Amino acid sequence: MTTPKYSTIAAWSLAIARALSANNIDACSVFSEVGLSLPQLEAEPDSRVAIDKMTQLWQAAERASGSLAFGLTVGQYAYPINFRALGALMMSCDTLAQAFETLPDYSALVSNSAVISLQRTPQLLGFTIIPLNGVEISDLAIDAFFSSLMLHGKQMIGHSDFVRKVELIRPAPKSQQPWNDCFDCPVVLAATDNCMWMDRTMLEQTVISKDPLLAQHNEKAVRQYLDKMQALNWQEKTSQGIHALLVNEEPTALKIAQMYNISERSLSRYLQLEGTGFRALLKLKRQELAHHYLANTQMPISILSDTLGYSSVSNFSRFFHTWQGISPSDYRQRCSTNLKPVISLAKNDN
């Protein structure tokens, strides 16, 4: 079975099922509504679910529950098993700080549809989720992820006081009380980033229980799974980083390297070993997003040109014509008339 390009581990959906059942909602019906089989996912928790299906599932769960804050509830049913070996690895770390430091490297096991990064101040550690532009992720999924991380932390050190502030991109609802109650700290909605800020001193507390040998075993299991789904491929990591940065700033190899806490030289070497380079991946990502926005949105071509980092519309149009053989406007028209477009992605261009 082909792995979807952007996907979530099937085990994560089981937390949604548990939360639905706890609220006396028929989980099987909700899953069936979006074309997913709950029994099959329960039987194959290490399989992958395409992110568009997961987003549809979150939307269906929101409708069934009648709650914009249902993701917070799901987070309380996301046990370490929902992170599979990554959850077990976190729970066997020496400190909560070590557990959170582990997540950016291995988060693709849970989902590769966003970039996870850490922000640091002298007192705080910010766990940040950067959605990939053009990849729709439900606001409920972000709520659930932060809620579940807080729960895991509480299980590890005995309390959740380490969470100091939560910032969420999601639009502010009429009442944000459910978020205030869940995180029990200042919550900023309609924020610029999705970030959970945590007290660094508290994160350094020794966990209630730990097992170094188990930690080694769990890390090996995580690496094996990620190798299997090719989530540790530097080409894919770099592509996701470019995707996350492109709409706000010009991606550079240095910025991507900093995102993954490596040197620019190391990133170049890793990509070279995989037969590609940063410029080639930037070109491919621009083509991918150009295809997405022209085929699926009415974004003006002038704005799309700026979004993708081209100096002018004519420059964008010229490059697009070399890829597709037609202009961006003609390509959009072809898509709108249901003629199946074929996007010709450039090969390695170091």
Residue 209, helix vs strand vs coil: coil
Report DSSP state, residue 345.
-
**pLDDT number for residue 19:** 92
> Cα torsion at 94, 100, 103, 104 (round to 10°)?
-130
The per-residue pLDDT for 55 is 93
Residues 95 and 207: beta-carbon distance below 8 Å:
yes
Of 60, 4, 50, 6, which Cα lies nearest the Cα of 28? Answer: 60
pLDDT value of residue 44:
82
d(C-alpha 167, C-alpha 186), whole Å: 9
- pLDDT 10s digit of each residue in the chain, 350 long? 455 577 888 888 988 998 999 999 999 999 999 999 999 988 887 788 888 899 999 999 999 999 999 999 998 887 655 565 555 556 566 777 877 777 766 666 667 777 788 888 889 999 898 877 777 889 999 999 999 888 888 877 778 899 999 999 999 888 999 999 999 999 999 998 899 999 999 888 766 554 454 445 444 544 454 454 445 578 877 887 787 777 667 888 988 887 777 789 988 998 998 889 999 998 888 888 888 788 877 888 888 888 788 878 888 888 888 888 888 888 888 887 654 444 444 444 43
Q: What structural domains does the chain harbor?
A: 7-203 (3.90.1520), 233-350 (1.10.10.60)
The Cα–Cα gap between 245 and 251 comes to 6
Q: How do strand 124-131 and strand 163-167 relate by DSSP bridges?
A: unpaired
